[in-house]
Chains A and B, each alone.
Chain A
């Protein structure tokens, strides 16, 4: 580390964070260097919120997919989310501290098992959110990297689309697209939502690439004749991986909210499929009479979004403890 960097780091920040190995000249520190991966893991596992988030998210995912099964594979819960039945005891939840009972989350007005319905909604919301997160990350990374590295048309496109989203609210655009794709199944919906949510990540990646391409190792690679794609794939993108992972996490969290909001408005998941958003939309008026119909799906949305956000926060701290911006 250069003289300037070291000294300003010492005085400037309230908490100087020497990079690993900054002290290698000092024999005392020579054996105390960590690899990048080790550092990230170390910091992540120290972030209690992120660990809790990870635990909750895993629990919800396992619960949702193992209970009612995936497609043809049956789960351990014997009831189905679409079979109606007789309403027992006003449809009240039978769940207690240590037992589930017949209808742990109660029943809806037509006697369907609400636990199975919420699990189905959770499954769909999770699948859509992760589809959106992953697809929009791929689009965003690609366009962001091209825009940052080559500038030119990709950058203009990115900037104009960003301008577009300053003027058209994301939700509105997504609603129109969701209205078109909603009938074609949840993956179509996920893809459509990804098509409108990639811009944030693309701008982030572009910013990173813009600063990376001024770094001397990129100039050095160019000077020895390295091809553009090799530079992007080998020298630039691996250095943006932290930003990308963090942004993906936050993208997943906001995708959950976007999808449930659309389904609530009626432009997302279409019946007979169930989303946590459409459950709330269907039963919001039941708040005073059958509050469980309203509480459970809401709490599941909140729990998923919150735990994903905390994971994102932990990852951000882990990858770059100095960066505190919102992804």
Chain B
């Protein structure tokens, strides 16, 4: 086993529990060979968190999956992979299966789909225990209950027999982690374990993962794209870019003094809370506001049940030329408000006035005329453009619908808009599937601006983008806002993005407004507990500052009477701290209950 030239900031006994040397992965696809990982070397030591960072397509997930031998059949793998002293690449299928779950366990990104929907949690937990000979029958049940309690599932005796759909997303991720823990693996690979979760839930899950390495001395390979998560969790960091490892080192080295250009660019692109400082509040203009929502209630009707109230008495307004950030976690109703403001969802009561006209009671004709003055940008670059229309037609569509100009003037306008969103004019003839995610969102913005709107509704326009792409799109967005001076309702779950962009902020929770006011006031000096909680849970890409924030957060949670979210190990249980495999013992397999 060769050790790469990195230094670590904590003394380690023993060798690596997971190592890759000269790993090289290629995929044969319909469109030729894709070189996903180009000869990288990495290692994870016991009780250490190595964060593997990179943007989409950097090959980080492929790297981690290769450790379990779970790559698809069309992959060609070269190089050495070692797990707990065993060489994965020469292993038989049977040995490989024994290793999975027992030596190395995996936590996946999407907790909603990672559990089998038709089997109870018990079945899914017990099968791993029985397979690896850890416990059988009622013993296995007891062990599973203990594991669920450890990861903080309340009432585990009852909930063990429930099905996955009866748990929330955060709880499911806890169950996945409990499953990963069940056989005391030497190393856990967590592939974007918090990406699909809300920021407060993310903080809890990260607390849980952190306690794993502290309490159980497990090595963790954490794959993530979020620099905040890295700062919060990692001991060491490895940065991947297009299949290459461009930088590796301790979390302080990489985050505080990045050497490689790409790392620098990546870090610069991360939006940081509080980096914008004080800005003068935007003067509230007289006359009709761009958008005014009063006492809005939106309900969704479900067959045979009481209607679900997604938005409950919300009032907010957007002045002309002002950006209002609408923030909240999933299910807070923020997208529903945006869609109601666009007239896509009917309001149950209350009023929604665009440029002074109430659209809830409006007839079709005048509504269409009003819609001419409103632009919209949605979240998902994969579905925001009609795949059958060339980009130019997509952008010209609003002009065609409202019969503005002739063919030629439309074409000119499209070219002008493409310039504005910093895309080459030749792109007008390409189809959406030929564009990258960032390019597609730029096209969406160009389409939204094609009628010079006075109000723009942007529903999470950058949350599906890589951070470097997000940064450039946001920069362009700000510039365009200054140029076109539209009022904007900007929906986002990311406080840092809102902080960067908005003049005022509205915080939503469960369909109700928790707090609203000027950006600097709400985000720098929050008054409500929920806002504080949100702010504290958002990680920043600076390990020292993040540690301080984390401690602040734990203190705050204690004050409001909530326990910690780490492992819950009952005091009478024997210490689960494992002995560290010595350098010569290769794979000491201790700790099996």
Binding site for B on A (CB under 8 A): 1-8, 10-11, 13-21, 23-26, 29, 32-33, 35-36, 215-217, 219-227, 230, 234-235, 238-239, 321
Contact = CB atoms under 8 A, between A and B. Distances in A.
A231 B379 CA distance: 20
Nearest to B440: A1
Interface stretch (B264-272, B395-403, B563-571): B395-403
A67 B424 CA distance: 57
Contacts of B195: 3-4
Please give me the 5 A-B residue pairs with the lowest Cβ-Cβ distance, nearest first. Answer: A225-B371, A216-B378, A21-B434, A225-B368, A238-B388
A19 B401 CA distance: 30
B353 interface: no
B191 interface: yes
A14 B73 contact: yes
A192 B374 CA distance: 49
28 contacts: A1-B437, A3-B195, A3-B225, A4-B109, A4-B110, A6-B57, A10-B62, A10-B65, A11-B62, A14-B74, A15-B73, A24-B435, A32-B32, A36-B388, A36-B433, A216-B378, A219-B339, A220-B378, A221-B401, A224-B451, A225-B367, A225-B368, A225-B401, A225-B402, A230-B401, A234-B386, A234-B389, A239-B387
Contact of A225 (B73, B372, B380, B457): B372
Contacts of A224: 371-372, 374-376, 397-398, 401-402, 451
Contacts of A20: 31, 433-434
Given A13-B72, A230-B401, A18 B29 contact: yes
Contacts of A23: 31, 34, 57
A217 B434 contact: no
Interface in B127-179: none
Interface in B42-83: 55-57, 61-62, 65, 70-74
Nearest to B72: A14
Nearest to A224: B398
Contacts of B371: 223-225
A307 to B, nearest CB: 26
Contact of B431 (A3, A5, A35): A35
A219 B435 contact: no
Contacts of A11: 61-62, 65, 70-72
Contact of A216 (B73, B384, B434): B384
Contacts of B451: 224
B414 to A, nearest CB: 15
> Binding site of B, secondary structure by majority: helix, strand, loop or mixed?
loop
Q: Which of A3, A33, A221 counts the most B-chain CB atoms under 10 A from its CB? A: A3
Contact of B434 (A24, A222, A223): A24
B389 to A, nearest CB: 8
Contact of A239 (B368, B378, B388, B434): B388
B383 A216 contact: yes
A7 B71 CA distance: 12
Interface of B: 27, 29-32, 34, 36, 55-57, 61-62, 65, 70-74, 109-110, 191-192, 195-196, 225, 242, 339, 342-344, 367-369, 371-372, 374-376, 378-389, 394, 397-398, 401-402, 431, 433-437, 439, 444, 447, 451, 457, 464-466
A45 B27 CA distance: 23
A6 B23 CA distance: 20
A170 B191 CA distance: 51
Nearest to B113: A8
A234 B431 CA distance: 15
Given A219-B339, A219-B378, A33 B434 contact: yes
Contacts of A21: 433-435
Contact of A16 (B72, B374, B394): B72
B379 A216 contact: yes
Contact of B344 (A7, A215, A223): A223
A15 B72 contact: yes
B397 A226 contact: yes
A24 B57 CA distance: 11
A18 B31 contact: yes
Nearest to A220: B376
Nearest to A29: B31
Given A35-B431, A224-B371, A2 B382 contact: yes
Given A2-B380, A15-B73, A15-B74, 9 more contacts: A2-B437, A8-B109, A15-B72, A16-B74, A25-B436, A36-B387, A219-B376, A225-B369, A235-B388
Nearest to A217: B386
A5 B383 CA distance: 12
A21 B385 CA distance: 15
B446 to A, nearest CB: 12
B343 A223 contact: yes
A233 to B, nearest CB: 11
A14 B400 CA distance: 43
A19 B431 CA distance: 12
Contact of B433 (A19, A225, A226): A19
Nearest to B387: A239
A61 to B, nearest CB: 31
A235 B387 CA distance: 9
A26 B242 CA distance: 9
Nearest to A226: B401
Q: Which of B70, B398, B466 counts the most A-chain CB atoms under 10 A from its CB? A: B398
Nearest to B71: A11
Given A13-B72, A24-B434, A7 B109 contact: yes
Contacts of A5: 382
A45 to B, nearest CB: 14
Contacts of B372: 224-225
A238 B431 CA distance: 14
Nearest to B27: A16
A222 B340 CA distance: 12
A227 B386 CA distance: 16
A8 B72 CA distance: 11
Contact of A7 (B56, B342, B386, B444): B56
A179 to B, nearest CB: 41
Contacts of A6: 56-57
A219 B385 CA distance: 10
B74 to A, nearest CB: 6
A223 B401 CA distance: 11
A32 B433 CA distance: 12
Contacts of A2: 56, 380-382, 437, 464-465
